Structure 1
């Protein structure tokens, strides 16, 4: 992926803002009181799809229409947020969107994808299996296979980081959840485009720690499973193009337990009255884990989404 400039990201923002406004970022006082540092939360749970991915879907589909004007539709694999973004963006352009999810995927995310105009197919035990089926269906139906990581996806996602850094340019550290990697690569791209010195820290689940293991080994590492309720983090193997960026530019990668993620979801509710899905709460979970290291500093956390099933959230809050 080529190095993104501020102009690249601002051009992407013009496409994004045709569909949605910029999201808010706030320095929440009760989080500061709890953790002993200034905590800026970037609220990507407030997008039209409830997650940051919508930005990348918008910019990718604009690029696709421009570069492949004859395309009839798209197919992609997802656990939910990526699929919602593509369904929404494809629907606005009159394109078919076929979305492949693992068996037993979130019913509420599946319904949301259908609500945005997507056709949902269940296949495989996890996201990585769904990716293989998406590739097969692309060939079978003559659809464009949207990868989990692409320059245009990162360009769109980087717009949220640009908003955050313009509002709070003096952040010492930003914690970002890692799934397929567009989020953390977007934050790195925006930081570098603005010439800032902010440390970027990736966050994974201990149950889906391939990115952390790869970071520490300096090479791609695949785990046997990725069984976390934070489905946005449930990836068995890093995307090589994404890992090439965050593996080199992250300060470190932190792993958090299922219990720590659940506690962060509760903290978001009590301290900010915001709904966070598991992946959306992971960054705060990592900050809570590293609170002693962050005392007195200015820290950003990405609340990447709020799309959690009612039954899951009820068990967490209860």
Structure 2
């Protein structure tokens, strides 16, 4: 794949996809801009590659119908393209895919089958189904036309921000970063292209480090859109050629980025989409003196997971804390602890008073509480005050 194919994709997609905005994210960092692909027609960048791929099928291939495997966003992109072109489509999704993505895919009129617990499970089933039916398989990332469609994002970034010198891109299978990196390096070779993966799904990072394609034993991340065990051979080669570096972010950092995007930027991001912003927020990429664009690749987040993700983000940013401590089991002692905490101007969200937990002395009880704070420094103030008054509080780091 080269820049000419990406430029052709731009022409094909001109009246189909939105030229999503690039927003200066000064509330996060003065040197950060966000390419808001969460505002794309199907809520994610995948529409670009899927539509361009289907547009290149022959009439005979279109008559056979298409099959795709996806955790959600590729599914919607293929489904939308099928609807617009009148092509019969079957989409195989893992059973663990967010309900919102499953229902959105069905809304475009394709058949949806739920198989397996991971993308790789769904992919294997879909490939077998394709052999049985003779339909055309639409790869989610390991396809030059798909990569070219995604690469139109790179063209748009340089058109609107020709002085951008760093672009951060989420990586799952590698289709998005392959297309963007090819476009950017072809037009501006000195612009850094940095990939970001979840710590719990670093298949491309490990593959590049070991100079061979690696298959992870398992992947588990709130960034379901990039939970891929094995990168594609084509995308791996493209990343070797064009990508400067791949970094990783933790689950808590992803959650914190989702929270900050909601609160400060009024943007809804799914886990995969927020990884590029998390990398900028938590020092994974050198920001000083640079003009950095983070590609927010999608906003199709399952609202059923949103509250948990927000809690993770609040804990990561010091806005919420979970404390455990033992107190003498006598009248008035619990009230004393509450008064101490209240004196720090802290709101207690919930409290649990347990007198029979194993390991607690006979004259003690265990108190667990969730508190609402302003910062990590505020939490430390509470801990210090409790320790000064004879308690030994334990801060629970994760939920």
Match of 2:246 in 1: 253
Of the candidates 134, 137, 147, which is equivalent to residue 139 of structure 2? 147
Question: Is 2:29 the partner of 1:15?
Answer: no
More helix by share: 1
Match of 2:193 in 1: 200
**Correspondences of 1:48-63 after superposition (within 5 Å):** 48-63=41-56
**Correspondences of 1:269-280 after superposition (within 5 Å):** 269-280=262-273
**TM-score, normalising length: structure 2:** 0.75
**Correspondences of 1:1-318 after superposition (within 5 Å):** 2-5=1-4, 8-32=5-29, 37-65=30-58, 68-69=60-61, 71-148=63-140, 149-290=142-283, 293-318=286-311
Identify which range, 256-265 or 160-169, moves more after superposition: 160-169
> Which segments of 5 or more consecutive residues in structure 2 lack a partner in the other structure?
312-399
Bigger relative CO (Cα 8 Å, ≥ 6 apart): 1
Structure 2: how far apart are the matches of 1:38 and 1:72? Answer: 49
> Which segments of 5 or more consecutive residues in structure 1 lack a partner in the other structure?
none
Per-residue displacement from partner, 1:62-82 (whole Å, max 9, x unpaired)? 00136x455321001100000
Task: Give secondary structure in 2 for the equivalent of 1:200.
Answer: strand
Contact 1:71/1:144 (CA < 8 Å) preserved in 2? no
Structure 2: how far apart are the matches of 1:44 and 1:138? Answer: 30
Deviation for aligned residue 1:131: 0.9
Deviation for aligned residue 1:10: 2.9
Structure 2: how far apart are the matches of 1:293 and 1:119? Answer: 45
Runs ≥4 residues deviating over 4 A: none
Structure 2: how far apart are the matches of 1:3 and 1:292? Answer: 27
Task: Give secondary structure in 2 for the equivalent of 1:160.
Answer: helix
**TM-score, normalising length: structure 1:** 0.93
- Aligned length in residues: 310
Contact 1:169/1:196 (CA < 8 Å) preserved in 2? no
Larger radius of gyration: 2
Deviation for aligned residue 1:25: 0.7
Structure 2: how far apart are the matches of 1:39 and 1:277? Answer: 19
RMSD: 1.5
Contact 2:247/2:284 (CA < 8 Å) preserved in 1? no
Contact 1:177/1:302 (CA < 8 Å) preserved in 2? yes
